[in-house]
């Protein structure tokens, strides 16, 4: 029987609960230190214990996965801890979704290219010397907004970078790899989509916003104190908050998702398969300005284990993103077209 497998972090519990709910086997590749946590949950059938997630590329672990007819579900930790190169070159177990698009998610410039090809409103990106407006500086490989900072001129950028270098937080020269993007003032909204290459249907299964420290703490301090203490916001994600959109904005949300699927189809064969997320803000004029995408399941879907208002309108049963993935696996198995959902 097919086994749904994943690394033990991020949204593993949701994925494996969804697998069990759909009648599939479940397997977790967990660090030994977290084994006792995962043992608390009765829906996990099999365990592979590792010291580091990187061990997933070891031949003996890959054989174990193959022997259990595993479909590996990628999530943020696979990219951040195993690394995109190893996932592309050394990981030979079937992966749910298009593993090639994960490179487009990791590489800022490919990311920009795909978003532009999708015809989404785009934000300008800058070389340090060109900064002429409020910008957010994104560090390479930064997980969950860690280390991001705000600048509005080259001098300011230089000062912060020199300070980071002198404190040993970044290596001299590494600022070349920082991604500097126009800052869009607005309220953040994250669309959680699922695209089925089998039914060719795009589903919006949930919407959330992130709870980020210290950006979301700023309204709690009077601005004169912000200025006096010279503090600037950081964007480290600590959790997710559910959101429903004004109904009049929903049509555009579907359009954005559909445009993205179309562009991925053209630029990154075999195209978008399964979960993805478009992340952006609604600006002062109510326009949605996307600044990022994730081409795989995002942790914000953990909000909706029992379904969201949007999934409830599509399914008369609790439908998490994790469960939806397993349902797609079952559908592909039934039709004998697993090749359509795996890479």
For the CB of residue 144, give the shortest distance to ligand AMP in the complex, in Å: 7
Best CA proximity match to 189, nearest among 142, 241, 236, 233? 241
Q: How many CB atoms lie within 10 A of CB 163?
A: 11
For the CB of residue 150, give the shortest distance to ligand AMP in the complex, in Å: 9
Cα(182)–Cα(289) distance, integer angstroms: 11
The residue among 235 and 276 lying less far from ligand AMP, judged by its C-beta, is 235
For the CB of residue 180, give the shortest distance to ligand AMP in the complex, in Å: 10
Length of the chain: 343
Best CA proximity match to 171, nearest among 130, 145, 139? 139
Cα(28)–Cα(73) distance, integer angstroms: 11
For the CB of residue 13, give the shortest distance to ligand AMP in the complex, in Å: 22
Binders of ligand AMP among residues 146 to 175 (CB under 6 A) are 148
- The residue sitting closest to ligand AMP, measured at its beta carbon, is 145
Best CA proximity match to 102, nearest among 79, 72, 69, 125? 79
Strand (E) or helix (H) holding 336? none
Q: Given the rule CB under 6 A, which of 67-75, 181-189, 192-200, 258-266 is the region that contacts ligand AMP?
A: 181-189
Best CA proximity match to 272, nearest among 341, 192, 184? 341
210 lies in the binding site for ligand AMP (CB under 6 A) = yes
For the CB of residue 197, give the shortest distance to ligand AMP in the complex, in Å: 26
Q: Are 238 and 144 in contact (CB under 8 A)?
A: no
Q: Which of 18, 74, 188, 290 binds ligand AMP (CB under 6 A)?
A: 188
Whether the upstream peptide bond of residue 208 has omega within 30° of 0, thus cis, is no
Q: Which of 212, 273, 307, 341 binds ligand AMP (CB under 6 A)?
A: 212
Q: Given the rule CB under 6 A, which of 32-40, 77-85, 207-215, 310-318 is the region that contacts ligand AMP?
A: 207-215
Number of amino acids touching ligand AMP (CB under 6 A): 17
The residue among 148 and 194 lying less far from ligand AMP, judged by its C-beta, is 148
Binders of ligand AMP among residues 264 to 303 (CB under 6 A) are 279, 281, 291-292
For the CB of residue 216, give the shortest distance to ligand AMP in the complex, in Å: 9
Sign of CA pseudo-dihedral 57, 58, 63, 68: negative
The residue among 203 and 212 lying less far from ligand AMP, judged by its C-beta, is 212
Cα(222)–Cα(208) distance, integer angstroms: 27
204 lies in the binding site for ligand AMP (CB under 6 A) = no
The residue among 41 and 183 lying less far from ligand AMP, judged by its C-beta, is 183
208 lies in the binding site for ligand AMP (CB under 6 A) = no
Q: How many CB atoms lie within 10 A of CB 35?
A: 13
Q: How wide is the angle at C-alpha 251 spanned by C-alphas 248 and 255, nearest 5°?
A: 150
By CB under 6 A, name the binding residues for ligand AMP. 123, 136, 138, 145, 148, 181, 183-184, 188, 210, 212, 215, 235, 279, 281, 291-292
């Amino acid at each position: 029987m097919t086994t749904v497998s994943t690394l033990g972090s991020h949204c593993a519990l949701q994925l494996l609960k969804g697998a069990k709910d759909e009648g599939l086997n479940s397997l977790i590749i967990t660090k030994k230190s977290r084994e006792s946590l995962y043992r608390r949950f009765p829906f996990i059938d099999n365990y592979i214990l590792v010291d580091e997630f990187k061990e997933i590329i070891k031949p003996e672990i890959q054989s174990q996965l193959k022997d259990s007819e595993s479909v590996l579900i990628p999530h943020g930790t696979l990219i951040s801890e195993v690394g995109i190169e190893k996932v592309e070159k050394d990981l030979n177990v079937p992966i749910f979704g298009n593993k090639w698009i994960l490179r487009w998610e990791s590489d800022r410039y490919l990311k920009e290219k795909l978003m532009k090809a999708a015809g989404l409103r785009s934000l300008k990106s800058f070389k340090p010397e060109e900064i002429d407006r409020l910008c957010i500086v994104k560090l390479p490989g930064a997980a969950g907004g860690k280390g991001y900072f705000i600048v509005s001129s080259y001098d300011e950028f230089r000062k912060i970078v020199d300070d980071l270098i002198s404190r040993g937080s970044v290596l001299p020269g590494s600022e070349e790899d920082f991604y500097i993007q126009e800052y869009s003032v607005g309220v953040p909204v994250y669309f959680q989509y699922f695209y089925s290459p089998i039914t060719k249907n795009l589903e919006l299964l949930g919407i959330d916003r992130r709870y980020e420290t210290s950006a979301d703490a700023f309204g709690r301090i009077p601005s004169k104190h912000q200025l006096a203490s010279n503090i600037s916001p950081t964007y480290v994600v600590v959790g997710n908050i559910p959101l429903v959109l004004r109904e009049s904005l929903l049509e555009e949300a579907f359009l954005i998702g559909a445009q993205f699927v179309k562009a991925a189809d053209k630029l990154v064969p075999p195209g978008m398969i399964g979960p993805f997320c478009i992340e952006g803000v609604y600006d002062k004029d109510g326009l949605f300005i996307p600044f990022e995408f994730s081409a795989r399941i995002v942790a914000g879907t953990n909000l909706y284990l029992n379904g969201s208002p949007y999934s409830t309108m599509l399914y008369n049963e609790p439908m998490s993103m994790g469960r939806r993935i397993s349902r797609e696996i079952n559908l592909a198995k039934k039709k004998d077209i697993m090749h359509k959902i795996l890479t």
